[in-house]
Structure 1
Amino acid sequence: MYPIRALAAVLLLTSLAPAADPAEWPQWRGPARDGTVTGPAWPDKLEGGALERVWRVEKLGPSYSGPIVATDRVFTTQTVDKKTEVVTAHDRKTGKELWKASWEGSITVPFFAAKNGSWIRSTPAFDGKTLFIAGITDVLVALDGGTGKEAWRLDFVKEFGTPLPDFGFVCSPLVDDAGVYVQAGGSFVKVDKKTGKVLWRVLKDGGGTMGSAFSSPVFAKLAGADQVVVQTRTKLAGVERDTGKELWAKEVPSFRGMNILTPVPVGADGILTSTYGGNTRLVRVKSADGKFDTSDAWALRYEGYMSTPVVVDGHAYVLGKDKRLVCVDVKTGKEAWSTDDRFGDYWSLIANKDRILALDSRGILYLLKANAKEFDLIEKRKVAESETWAHLAVCGNEIFIRDLNGLSAWRWSGK
């Protein structure tokens, strides 16, 4: 009888053990900020009941902020009546509103960008306790994730005496144990996450003719050194986290400073980037005797625009200015293939093993196989009637989609 009792005890303990917390999506481009997730393989279908909508919140104001997914809630932003920015927490299981916070904040973007709207752009970051939101008028706001209570607010226009950026605060905050890293006030800044005090400010350009840079920073270890990599309106740079010391910098040409996408660390010394009016390139970062040096490992005459690539098995998948998807060998810089078809202006891309999910700005979700030989479309599905510029969020078998008019939660039912 002893083995049976032992088995019963094990079963009882297993049943009493707390279930693992569901996967989260705490920041721009996901947990590792690289557009990849781990876990079980995704199903091979989007249609036929394989992917079902669980809930939807209607009548939200427009936003380009991707949804932030915590253990029990989902955060989203919106601009209401062209004058107020609103942050809302929704119950992850039901979509029910838990709390709401707001402040006045709006601008009108230049006429040539009018089709991209005059509403909040940046995706917030959540550290498990505090939500950090970039308001379009160059303000950074910290809210308690549980209650929505404001902890602090930093107005970069007042802090630095810089002009209001023409396109607003576009950069998505990056957070570590001590600080929040953003491009704001015509510079790259680290802010104390507890107090909102500026810890350092570097790479100052005064904001140029159109305001601060659009690209979001990322942590990387390059040439053996931990650093934060940032792409300004004119250059790519590596900065020491604690001090703000510029370790290295390389000019990155683009049209009107439109360095928009997030640089992608590759291997021990590589940074992949692509610019509008420039090209796609891999920058090598080397270090000797404490001095850093950079060079182009290769450059491909293909212009990226707004969509940050994902890298799978040594190949980058890049949606460019011409709306074609291009597969590039990261080691050689050679184009493996490109599509004849043209897609929307923007894709948010997430990879899991050899699968890629791509949310097109036209409201179409694509499921691809990461295939270095050819464009390999598994299935596609219309998931929104309004435009979907906000970055897709994928947490295990759940998918969260923010379109211009609402927020939806979807669930894969299995293979």
Structure 2
Amino acid sequence: MTMTTGRLVCAMALAVAVGPTVAFADWTQWRGEARDGVASASASVEEWPEALSLTWRHQIGLGHATPAVAGGRIYTHSRQGDDEVVSCLTLDTHDLVWSKSYAAPYRMNPAARGHGPGPKSSPTLANGTLVTLGISGILSAYDASTGDLRWQKRFDGRFASTSPVFGTAMSPLVDRDVVIAHVGGDGDGALIALDLATGDERWAWDGDGPGYASPVVVELSGVRQYVTQTQNMVVSVAPASGALLWSMPYKTPYEQNTITPLLYGDTILLSGLESGTVAMRPREDGGVWALEEVWRSPFSMYMSSPVLSGDRLVGLAGKRKGQFFCISPATGATLWETEGREGDYAGIVRLGDAFVCLTPDAELHVIRDSADGYDEIARYTVADKPTWAHPVVLDGRILVKDEDSLSLWSLR
């Protein structure tokens, strides 16, 4: 493995590890601090400007992994040639703190060429450690301060393939002192738990290959559990052992399970390509789990995971070439929907009384959080190349990763 190191910008800064305490406007993993697409309240905007101001733009490499941000630093995972590159930059000035790379040649499935050769998985920052998952399934952990590699796992000898058909896209979860990732490939994989510090495997559930969705931690019937969409199922496993608690078949065309599960009360909200949106209520009685379908909505989400705001669920449905909608998470009733043609995808983030939605055409839609109808407060163009990563909303600033660069925009 070839490793490269960038110049140091501040020796004292490197001595300070990113700890478990999260600052108010940090964004340390897929979909934010709770993996639910909700930004910190401190990042709320009182008045949206007529135009955003570009603070800086930095060429960082190919890929659509959403950066992690903490302690005034940005952590990115990108591609440069046949290498996957993990970098740390300063937020204010985009100075390079450190950069590490490893060989990761990858041949794209022709059907996924429009999304590029990755990486697609968002890095996760926890307890001074940055965890990344490459498009070919290489799982790595780095010291967040120095970039030193703590451990790396490759699964070539364990599974017939090390990534799903369209490339690895699930983002690793760090829960307390373990890393949760679904590794392997088509029809042959395992949801695994690794020790965050050492990379030692704690357990593995090998009941299905990986999908493209990311796992979440929830509590249902008083039981803490990990829930995710796999290649052909929705599953829940016990954090301590990986034992299967409950599961249900979940098949989408071309086995493209992509939507991150979302907890609402005692229900799990699920969606998929041509599958509508459904609320399932898992219940445990005497060690036996049962699933009840509470409601079903016709809105089918493809790659865009929805976001909750109280008694409203906002998402982007695949029909009509991309259609924003709002439904009741309690009943599934439609509150409003747009005419369509909004795009193939939207990275949706709730920010105070608004939703910030970034579509692949680099249009940033700011939508008022309302049950009364679609109300666009503002719209900004934030890049001249495709944008498939989520916008990272910080205090008065928005960080955007496009096809090959990173840009910071000011709201002031």
Per the normalisation by structure 1, the TM-score is 0.89
Looking at CA atoms only, which structure, 1 or 2, has the larger radius of gyration? 1
Deviation, structure 1 residue 203? 4.0
Q: Is the 8 A contact 1:23 1:71 kept in 2?
A: no
* Paired residues for 1:293-332 under 5 Å: 293-322=290-319, 323-332=322-331
* Paired residues for 1:61-210 under 5 Å: 61-81=61-81, 83-158=82-157, 160-165=158-163, 166-185=165-184, 186-205=189-208, 207=209
Q: Aligned partner of 2:35: which letter?
A: R
Partner of 1:237: 235
Secondary structure of 1:156's counterpart equals coil
Partner of 1:383: 382
How much is the aligned-residue C-alpha RMSD, in angstroms? 1.6
Distance 1:191 1:71 in 2: 25
Q: Is the 8 A contact 1:270 1:285 kept in 2?
A: yes
Deviation, structure 1 residue 21? 4.8
**Structure 1 gap ranges (5+):** 1-19
Deviations, residues 305-350 of structure 1 (Å, cap 9, x unaligned): 0000001121111212221111111111122221013112111111
**Structure 2 gap ranges (5+):** 1-21
Deviations, residues 131-175 of structure 1 (Å, cap 9, x unaligned): 0010122110111111111110011223x2331323232110100
Q: Aligned partner of 2:54: which letter?
A: R
Residue 272 of structure 2 corresponds to residue 270 of structure 1: no
Distance 1:356 1:56 in 2: 24
Distance 2:383 2:167 in 1: 26
Distance 2:224 2:162 in 1: 32
Deviations, residues 80-126 of structure 1 (Å, cap 9, x unaligned): 12x11111110111001111100011322221222121221100100
Residues 372, 203 of structure 1: CA spacing in aligned structure 2 closer, same or farther, 3 A cutoff? farther
Distance 1:394 1:203 in 2: 36
Partner of 1:14: none
Distance 1:341 1:396 in 2: 31
Deviations, residues 53-74 of structure 1 (Å, cap 9, x unaligned): 222213x321110011010210
Residues 46, 342 of structure 1: CA spacing in aligned structure 2 closer, same or farther, 3 A cutoff? farther
Per the normalisation by structure 2, the TM-score is 0.89
Partner of 1:53: 54
Distance 2:55 2:32 in 1: 21
Distance 1:356 1:398 in 2: 15
Distance 1:143 1:270 in 2: 35
Deviations, residues 229-253 of structure 1 (Å, cap 9, x unaligned): 1111111121110111111111223
* Paired residues for 1:356-375 under 5 Å: 356-375=355-374
Secondary structure of 1:157's counterpart equals coil
Distance 1:299 1:39 in 2: 31
Distance 1:128 1:347 in 2: 30
Residues 73, 342 of structure 1: CA spacing in aligned structure 2 closer, same or farther, 3 A cutoff? same
Deviations, residues 187-239 of structure 1 (Å, cap 9, x unaligned): 2111111111221111433x4xxxx3111000111111111111111111211
Distance 2:166 2:154 in 1: 16
Deviations, residues 30-75 of structure 1 (Å, cap 9, x unaligned): 0111111232431332424xx32222213x3211100110102101
Distance 1:142 1:350 in 2: 27
Deviation, structure 1 residue 179? 0.5
Q: When the two structures are aligned, how many residues end up with a matched partner?
A: 383
